[in-house]
Structure formats: C-alpha cells, structure tokens
Amino acid sequence: MVKYIIKRLLLLVPVIIGVSMLVFLVMHMFTTDPAATILGQHAKQDQILALREQLGLNKPIYVQYWDFLRGILHGNLGDSLMTKTPVWNEIMARFPATIELALAAIIFASIFGIIMGVISAIKQNSIVDYICMVISLLGVSMPIFWLGLIFILVFAVQLQWFPVSGRIDIGLEPIRITGLYLIDSLATGNMPAFFSALKHLIMPAVALGSASTAIIARMTRSTMLEVVRQDYIRTARAKGLLERPIIFGHALKNALIPIITVIGLQLGTLLGGAVLTETVFSWPGVGKYVVDAILVTDYPVVQGTVMMMAVIFVLVNLLVDIIYAFIDPRIKYS
C-alpha cells in the first residue's frame, strides 16, 4: 500500500510539470503584452520595453518557464499586475473559503444524494422513485449560477432566512486557526461567529452541491439496484433478516465503492464550479479572485490560480484512489 502511494505520488510529478507547462505556454503565447497592460494605452514604446526588461519578458521562453517553475517550488507565483501583492499570499488567504464551500457542498451532496438514491432503489418504479429521479434530472440540468440567483431571490430577499452574500457578518470573524470559519469558531467557542458563518454558507453550498447531489443519487440508485439482486442479499432475506439491516448493513456497504468514486470526482468538479457560485454569492474565495483577475487581464493571478486549482484537483483524485484501498479489500495495488 505504502509502495503504491509512493508510486502514485512520483507519477504526479510529470503530470504537475505538464500542467505547469500548459498553463505557462497558454498564458505566454496568447495573452497581450503584460507590460502594455500595466502601463495602459498611453504608454510610450521605450517605457514598455523597459518594463518588459524589468519583468523578465525579454528572456528566452524556456528561461522564463524555468523561473516560473522555480518560483512555484519556492511558493512564489509572481505579483498581481493590479494590486502588486504576491499572488501566492492572495491565494492562501482565499483558499480556506473555497475549501470550506466545496467541503460543505460535497457533504450536503453526499448525504442527500445517497438518501435519495437508496430510497429510489428500494421503492423502484414507485411515485417516490419518479419524484427523486425527476429532482436529480433537474439537478444536473440546471445551471448552478441560476439556481444561486433563485435561492437569493426566494430565501434571502423574499423570506430573509439567509444573508444575500458574503462569508460572515462584519466584525464576527473568528481567530484564524485553519481559515475555515465553522471549525475556527467552534474551536474557539465563538458561537455567534459559528451561526453567522453557517447561515452564510448554507445557500452557496446547496447551490454548488445541487448537480453533485443529482449525480450521486443516480449513481447510488443504479448501484443499489444491481446489488440488491445479488445472491447474498437473497440469502440475507431468506435468513429472515429485517429489510433495514439488509439495505444499510449489506447492500449499501457493498454499493459504496462506485459511489465514493463519484463523490471524489465531484469534489474536484466542485472546485471548478466554485468559480460560478463564488461570483453569484460574492464569496471571497479563489474562484471569485480568478474571475475578477480575468476581467482586468491580470495574467499572473490567472496563471497562479489555475495552476494551484489543477494541482489540488489532481491531489484530490489521487486521494480518492487511495481511499479505495481502505474500503475495498478486493482491490489489489501493485
């Protein structure tokens, strides 16, 4: 197992180098001259040339790439063209917000997706099954940003159950330990902060997790339907076991492998989806940061953020692979 993990980690190296190369080339081959962007429309040619020299843009492309790669290894992703602050610091300051949102979304999606899938499977072809499947079909067909806007309209503006935007009420920010407000406020016993953070988190998390809920529900249903037809389930029934232990103790346990695969893959997808949700709810995470940067062509920010998110995406997928080994002894790793 340890050997497998080490092997997979080593295999990550070429993928991450490839990711960095792709991000770097795309950003450098197609973007407009960053020096011209910084200096604006009225800049003179010699000013642009001087700034290009200062930014190292006159060096050969492979030297620039090497500098970029070395920077990543030292936690240096360059400075934002607009705010002049280090991109790494900005990303680190915002990353906990995105992680908290993605985790909340995946927890919501897993719980409701599995419940819906199991109910659909055990009540196959009933009205409950049809309702669950219609909900899940709508879930994968609705744009999450539109769902977010509808949530704001109904639950924030009309019913006023939740705040319209933001991450926590001003002045209630807990002392930073992990950067995840829910955990930090609980750890410091700051309950007003906890409830404020929770109220701010619910709508974006549900909106972000809606498509994943639907995908997990559909996967759970089809896997459960396959599992409940297996001989060992028939045996359990013949032995006179009650339906509940059969479903949860035998069937669901065995159906979990493909469900966990889907959940893992969804966690990665949610990082991409966070770009939209964070924009809708003005959630101060990495997604909103990158969208704002794109709109003002701040390429070091786009480059750094896309790179970081890709690395996290790859690591999450690796983690999912490793988790299989723990939950399914039939999978052999060599």
Partner 1 sequence: MTTKNIKKYEEIKLPQAPKEESKFGNAWYMLKKNKAALVGLIIISILLIIAIFGPLIMPYKPNIGELSQSLQKPSITHWFGTDEQGRDILSRIIDGTKISLRVGITAVAIALSIGIVVGSIAGYYGGKVDMLIMRFMDVMLAFPSLLLAIAFMSVLGKGIDNAIIAISIVTIPEYARIVRGSILSIKDSEYVQAARVIGNSDVAIIFKHILPNVISPIIVRATLGVSNAILDTAALGFLGLGVQPPQAEWGSMLGAGRGYFYNAPHIILFPGIAITITVLAFNLFGDGLRDALDPKLHQ
Q: What is d(CA 45, CA 282) in angstroms, rounded to the nearest whole number?
A: 39
Q: Is 320 in the site for partner 1 (CB under 8 A)?
A: no
Cα 129 to Cα 118: distance, rounded to the nearest angstrom: 10
Residue that is written with structure tokens 């896997």 in the block = 223
Residues 188-207 that bind partner 1 (CB under 8 A): none
Considering the rule CB under 8 A, would residue 294 count as an interface residue with partner 1? yes
Query: What distance in Å separates the CA atoms of residue 10 and residue 311, rounded to the nearest whole number?
Result: 14
Shortest distance, position 56 Cβ to partner 1, whole Å:
19
Work out how close the CB of 303 gets to partner 1 at its nearest, in angstroms, rounded to a whole number: 8
Contacts of 295 (CB under 8 A, 6+ apart): none
Alpha-carbon distance of 23 to 303, in angstroms, equals: 6
**Which residues, other chains included, contact 93 with Cβ-Cβ below 8 Å and sequence gap of 6+?**
none
* Residue 279 near partner 1 by CB under 8 A: yes
The reply on whether position 138 binds partner 1 by CB under 8 A is yes
| Nearer to partner 1 among residue 47 and residue 297 (C-beta) | 297
Contact between 179 and 91 (Cβ < 8 Å): no
314 is a contact residue toward partner 1 (CB under 8 A): yes
Structure tokens of 24? 């770097």
Site membership for partner 1, residue 155 (CB under 8 A): no
231 φ, ψ (degrees, to nearest 5): -60, -40
Residue of 141, 171, 189, 240 interacting with partner 1 (CB under 8 A): 141
Least distance from partner 1 to the Cβ atom of residue 278, Å:
11
**Which CB, 14 or 240, lies closer to partner 1?**
14
Taking CB under 8 A as the criterion, the residue among 297, 321, 323, 324 binding partner 1 is 297
Closest CA to 311 of 52, 95, 42: 95
The token duo for 265 is 């893959």
- Among 227-235, 242-250, 291-299, 323-331, which window interacts with partner 1 (CB under 8 A)? 291-299
Q: State which residue, 66 or 146, has the beta carbon closest to partner 1.
A: 146
Which of these, 100, 258, 261, 257, lies nearest to 177 by C-alpha position?
A: 100
Residues that bind partner 1 (CB under 8 A): 14-16, 18-19, 21-23, 26-27, 29-31, 137-138, 140-143, 145-146, 149-150, 153, 157, 268-269, 271-273, 275-276, 279-280, 290-291, 294-295, 297, 299, 302, 306, 309-310, 313-314
